[in-house]
Structures are given as structure tokens and as C-alpha cells.
Amino acid sequence: MIETAGRPGHPDTPWVTWTILAVCGAVFLIGPVSGLNPVYGTGPGLPAAQTDYFAHWGVVPQELLHGSPWALRTPLTALFVHGNWLHLLGNMLFLYVFGAMTEAHLGRAAFLCCYLLTGYLALFGYAAVHAHSERTLVGASGAISGVLGAFLYLFPRARVTSLFPFLFFLPLRFPAWAVLLFWFALQWLATGTDAGRPGVAYLAHVVGFALGFGYAWGLRTPAARVKGAARSTEGDKPT
């Protein structure tokens, strides 16, 4: 569980963040992975339907770089497809916590552009490094990493409350820059385990985070960056 610190006052309603949450949830529920849509059937045929679904909407590096131009759409569509309930809920939690305040500061249009652009390029970057991989890549992690990078630029001194399993889930508060840079370092160190094998695409996280930070920096204005500590918030609700 993570609690972020945002600007004082009640931010504008984060419609883009909520819309992305709703779309990702709806896409998951109507897809074959949730197991709730009878169109895809049950039993032995369901795994085959899931595989076909991922191949159609997800990123297959070899197809993206060497196949039909139609595959160029997949780094966008893959942002709204998730592999299982845990994958979906984990990504949506991070988006809910960090997305609202980032959207409030960037503005809705700029935030949406940040999300889609960094997510697309994060998946494309992963595919470029693993150009001959035939494994499918899905999920919003690259885009959400972009949101984290933008958040770090906008809120470097925000206080972030984290729960660490190895410390018996004791809630500890740290500056956002410390938590997010530590997270980024872990992703960077883990990129060596990618190698086109199944699992987490850490390289997409690294690319997305760096692009998100650069995006927010590129849009900088004199009042854009929050330098002082602010009240704690979760999502868009001050506490």
C-alpha cells in the first residue's frame, strides 16, 4: 500500500485516470482471462482462446519489428490488456495512487499524452531489444512507470508511505525521490533477467520511467514542480 503526498487543496477530478482504470477493468472482464465471459467458453478451450487473445492485442516483438505494419498498433492496445487478476490489480493500484495528482498538475490532455506515449515507447523499446522474441507482452506497466517518472519530477519532496513485507508490513514514510529512485534501481538491476523469457518486462519499466520523467521535465513551467512537502493524499482525496 502506498500513500502519496500531493498539492494542498482538492485537485480537479482526475477523469483521465478514472477512465483508464475503468477501461482496463472492462477490457479484462470481457476478455477470456477473467473467465467471466461465456463467449470464450470454459474448460480445455479457454487457454487456447487466451493465447489467441494475447497474440492479437499484445506485443510480439518479432511481429512488431519484422511483420505486418498492422502490428504497429499493438504497443497501444497492449496497454489495456492484462495477464491475470493480480497483474491488473497491481497496475491499477499504482495508477490510482500516483495518477490523480500527476494528472492534476500536468492537465488532462498532457497527462493522457504522457500515459499513452510513454507506454507505447516503453513496449516498443522492449521489443527493439528483444527483436526476435515471439513471447507476447501485455499490460500497462510501461505507461504507469511513465506516470511514476513524471510524479518524481513534479513531487520530488512528497512523502510516500510504503509497507515493506520484510519489515512485517510496518508503514514507513520516505521522500518520493528516495522511494521511486529505489524502485527504478530495482527495475534496472532486474533487466538482466528479461532475456525474452516469460515474466516481468523490467526493461519496459525502465524505459517508461525515464521517458515519463523526461516528459514532465520537458513541460516544466515555473510553477509546475512542487518543491515543498504537502498534505498526504491517496488518489484525489486529501486526508
Interval 180-206: pLDDT, tens: 888 788 888 877 665 545 557 889 999
Phi, psi for residue 95 in degrees, rounded to 5: -65, -40
Least confident of 98-107, 123-132, 156-165: 156-165
Q: Model confidence at 67, in pLDDT bands (50, 70, 90)?
A: confident
**Averaged pLDDT score across all residues of the chain:** 81
Question: Is a pLDDT exceeding 50 seen at residue 49?
Answer: yes
The DSSP result for 18-68, as a single string, is HHHHHHHHHHHHHSSSSS--GGG-STTHHHHHHHHHHHHHSB-HHHHHHS-
Q: Model confidence at 23, in pLDDT bands (50, 70, 90)?
A: very high
Cα–Cα distance between 123 and 146 in angstroms, integer?
12
All structural domains of the chain with their residue ranges = 15-219
Q: Which residues contact 120 (CB under 8 A, 6 or more apart)?
A: 75, 76, 79
pLDDT confidence of residue 195: 56
- Which CATH code is given to the segment(s) 15-219? 1.20.1540.10
The DSSP result for 86-124, as a single string, is HHHHHHHHHHHHHHHHHHHHH-HHHHHHHHHHHHHHHHH
Q: Model confidence at 2, in pLDDT bands (50, 70, 90)?
A: very low
Write down the pTM of the prediction: 0.82
